Amino acid sequence: SQQGEEDPQALSIQEGENATMNCSYKTSINNLQWYRQNSGRGLVHLILIRSNEREKHSGRLRVTLDTSKKSSSLLITASRAADTASYFCATNDYKLSFGAGTTVTVRA
């Protein structure tokens, strides 16, 4: 069953701006993962945040997790055209459940 739900569905920003997207889920989790998918390609693993972590960084990515609100956010700083992709969150209570994704378009 689908658990992670991303918001917004689509986001268009200018190169250099920050992009923020959110993920909400319904039940308790062990961890939450964020992925990027370019059109027609597989998923690229971006970051995993465990249920006992509140924030995690990886390069230009910053992920937060609020288990009390059952939500997570992904921030991409100083966006580039190459960041244009769909972004998915997936929660893990053994099997991953994916949301519909946020489509990010970075305009040059």
Partner 1 sequence: GAVVSQHPSRVICKSGTSVKIECRSLDFQATTMFWYRQFPKKSLMLMATSNEGSKATYEQGVEKDKFLINHASLTLSTLTVTSAHPEDSSFYICSAREPGLGDFFGPGTRLTVL
Segment 2 to 61, residues that bind partner 1, using CB under 8 A: 2, 31, 33, 35, 40-45, 48
Quick check: 78 binds partner 1 (CB under 8 A)?
Answer: no
Least separation, in Å, of the C-beta of 17 and partner 1?
24
Quick check: 96 binds partner 1 (CB under 8 A)?
Answer: yes
Per the omega criterion (within 30 degrees of 0), is the bond before 8 cis?
A: yes
Quick check: 92 binds partner 1 (CB under 8 A)?
Answer: yes
CB half-sphere exposure, 63, CA atoms < 13 A: 25
Least separation, in Å, of the C-beta of 20 and partner 1?
20
The values of phi and psi at residue 18, to 5°, are -95, 150
Least separation, in Å, of the C-beta of 95 and partner 1?
6
- 11, 68 contact by CB (below 8 A): no
3-state secondary structure of 82: helix
Quick check: 95 binds partner 1 (CB under 8 A)?
Answer: yes
Quick check: 88 binds partner 1 (CB under 8 A)?
Answer: yes
* Among 84, 89, 77, residue whose Cα is nearest residue 106: 84
CB half-sphere exposure, 94, CA atoms < 13 A: 1
Chain residues binding partner 1 by CB under 8 A are 2, 31, 33, 35, 40-45, 48, 88, 90, 92, 95-101
